[in-house]
Structure 1
Amino acid sequence: MAATITALRRQISSASDLKSVVRVMKASAASAIGQYERSVAALADYARTVELGLSVCLRAVDPAGIHARAPHAGDKARTVHAVVFGSDQGLVGRFNDEVVDYAIAQFASLPVRVWAVGERVHERLLDAGRTPEGVFAVPGSVEQITQLVGQVLQTVPMADSADAGRSQSATLILFYNRPSANSYNPVSQRLLPLDEQWQQTLALQPWPSPQLPEVLSANTQTLRAFIHEHLFVSLFRASAESLASENASRLAAMQRADRNIGELLQDLDATYHRLRQAGIDEELFDVISGFDALAPNSEAGPQA
């Protein structure tokens, strides 16, 4: 009995310590989610500015090119360049599996050159029969996302070209997990070539002020610069949303762990108190039995 109670005490202490660790990890994941969501929100104004600049350039540089045919998913002759964002940290469930499965399903039989963000996504792609062209490190903070975006723009072919942005043969697609109301969902975003309908919408949208803008010189160079910034914004947003989804998955896992540990602690506490009470009752019964055995026999008569 004593050994069992001692073992229960150790289990309760270990479970309590683990619960404290889980709570710290929950707070860390929740804080990280807010950090990445704020970075995406802060990027919205800059993205709007880039879109306004693109709208001016698209009107000034070869307006007929705006209506160039967008790539068709069934065109198997076109090489698709894809970047798959994942996670290199644990406690994220099927985070990497879901985004890779989604990307593989979208690839179909197209000739795809894949770049992985994260070693675990890299290994998962290898298991699926897709050998990545390269692998990038997963950012550990908002400040490191800029470094990742720069590496992608320098490494992935056509990712930093204005001509690729409007060419029919250049295709660049991002695959990542995006936060949702419940947890996250795998999504894809085609960056290159620029979407035909999106270009038309930008070129036709009214300018927000009475003073109309104009491109003074080097129209193509200006367009290239705005396309570069558009790619930067899109890659930054995709990475930040992927990291927010990763922490949302970890937060959900920690919430489940916290709930399970709480239930375990309740069971251990109940078992401990039951055994402790049983031990106290047993000791009381022993005391009463000993008292009865040592007490004088009240029914015996006086001795001669």
Structure 2
Amino acid sequence: MSHSSADLRRQINSATDLQAVVRTMKALAASSINQYEQAVQALADYAHSVELGLSVCLRNVASEHPLGLETLSGTTTPAGVVVFGSDQGLVGQFNDVVANHALQALADQSPRPLVWAVGERVHANLADAGLPPAGDFGVPGSVQAITLLVGQILAESEARISRGEISGLRLFYNQPTPATTYSPTSQHLLPLDAHWYQQLTQRHWPSDNLPEVLGADTSTLQALIREYLFVSLFRACAESLASENASRLSAMQRADTNIGERLEILSMSFHRERQDGIDEELFDVIAGFEALPKR
């Protein structure tokens, strides 16, 4: 066979190896999506229980803003913002979408918000767009690691709020959607405003027997609010991770299709080149035979 056939064989082997890697990444992404979606579903029941407890506690509090966390209109203190992205690539437009959504929502905010990025990739996107984050957090590699990240975010934000460096906390992340794989969204987490208070106090209790709050109303309310913040951050992170792996799965599916098509073209070229080589050798044999003197 000619040098071209050997080169085609090397390309086929390389494409085959790459396809095996892509299919492995597809399987890992599909498995990861499942665990994060299950975490979100399991968290929904707990979040519902926390909100029911808050609704009971808030009904017993006469003040419109029981913890003094009223909305700070016209404040000169910047808002705190957390943008969830990815540490790894091969996720398509995942980081671009959430970064652009955050940039558009924060474009008119004054003073400039204090931003934290979850993930090196989205950190680079925000910095390139002129909104460099004040810090970043690593993306959890499993459901169990989300708790550690949530604790870090809560500790950092509470410390900044207590020092008067930020006036609240807002989250930006991608959430899974059936139609488009994922879509960007945001959640106003702190301060707890009148709209949040009104929604919870109007929530219907699922039975005719209304519960009673044991102990001091304020301490119970504070404990439930801490759980509410934890659940909200955990859900945002889990949905972001599910969206990231859905985006990676979609990208790997496209890559697998493209590699398969490329392999078909290379295989056809290889077989055609090999057949041309065989035909050429046969023609040489026939021509040599015909050139022999006839007896």
Residue 88 of structure 1 aligns to a residue in which SS? coil
- Contact 1:114–1:133 (8 Å) recurs in 2: yes
CA distance in 2, matches of 1:98, 1:150: 26
Tell me the equivalent position of 2:44.
44
Q: Percent identity?
A: 60
1:147 aligns with 2:148: yes
- Contact 1:158–1:170 (8 Å) recurs in 2: no
CA distance in 2, matches of 1:105, 1:46: 33
- Contact 2:174–2:184 (8 Å) recurs in 1: yes
- Contact 2:65–2:194 (8 Å) recurs in 1: no
Residue 278 of structure 2 aligns to a residue in which SS? helix
Tell me the equivalent position of 1:14.
14
Tell me the equivalent position of 1:300.
none
Tell me the equivalent position of 2:90.
91
Note the C-alpha offset of 1:183.
2.3
Note the C-alpha offset of 1:46.
0.3
Residue 199 of structure 2 aligns to a residue in which SS? helix
Tell me the equivalent position of 1:289.
287
Provide Cα deviations, 1:76-118, integer angstroms capped at 9, x if missing partner: 6453111111101111123222212211211123221111112
CA distance in 1, matches of 2:287, 2:114: 84
Note the C-alpha offset of 1:9.
1.0
CA distance in 1, matches of 2:47, 2:37: 15
One-letter amino acid matched to 2:170 = I
The match for 1:218 among 216, 219, 224 is: 216
- Contact 1:178–1:241 (8 Å) recurs in 2: yes
Tell me the equivalent position of 2:100.
101
Structure 2 matches for 1:26-105, cutoff 5 A? 26-62=26-62, 64-65=64-65, 71=71, 75=74, 77=76, 79-105=78-104
- Contact 1:153–1:159 (8 Å) recurs in 2: no
RMSD over aligned CA atoms reads 2.4
Tell me the equivalent position of 2:172.
175
Tell me the equivalent position of 1:187.
185
Note the C-alpha offset of 1:156.
0.8
Tell me the equivalent position of 2:248.
250
Note the C-alpha offset of 1:157.
3.1
- Contact 2:25–2:252 (8 Å) recurs in 1: yes
Residues 262 and 121 (structure 1 numbering): CA distance in 2 closer, same or farther, change over 3 Å? same
CA distance in 1, matches of 2:29, 2:250: 9
- Contact 2:60–2:217 (8 Å) recurs in 1: yes
Residue 14 of structure 1 aligns to a residue in which SS? helix
Note the C-alpha offset of 1:292.
1.8
1:132 aligns with 2:146: no
With normalisation by structure 1, the TM-score equals 0.87
Tell me the equivalent position of 1:238.
236
Residues 69 and 140 (structure 1 numbering): CA distance in 2 closer, same or farther, change over 3 Å? closer
Paired positions, count = 289
Structure 1: runs of 5+ lacking an equivalent: 298-304
Note the C-alpha offset of 1:22.
0.5
CA distance in 2, matches of 1:64, 1:93: 45
CA distance in 2, matches of 1:213, 1:160: 33
CA distance in 2, matches of 1:140, 1:10: 35
Provide Cα deviations, 1:197-227, integer angstroms capped at 9, x if missing partner: 3432321223222332111221111111111
CA distance in 1, matches of 2:60, 2:75: 33
Note the C-alpha offset of 1:295.
5.8
Note the C-alpha offset of 1:196.
3.2
One-letter amino acid matched to 1:54 = L
One-letter amino acid matched to 2:189 = L
Provide Cα deviations, 1:169-201, integer angstroms capped at 9, x if missing partner: 943110111122222211111012335334323
Which stretch shifts more, 118-127 or 256-265? 118-127
With normalisation by structure 2, the TM-score equals 0.90
1:114 aligns with 2:111: no
Residues 134 and 203 (structure 1 numbering): CA distance in 2 closer, same or farther, change over 3 Å? same
Residue 144 of structure 2 aligns to a residue in which SS? helix
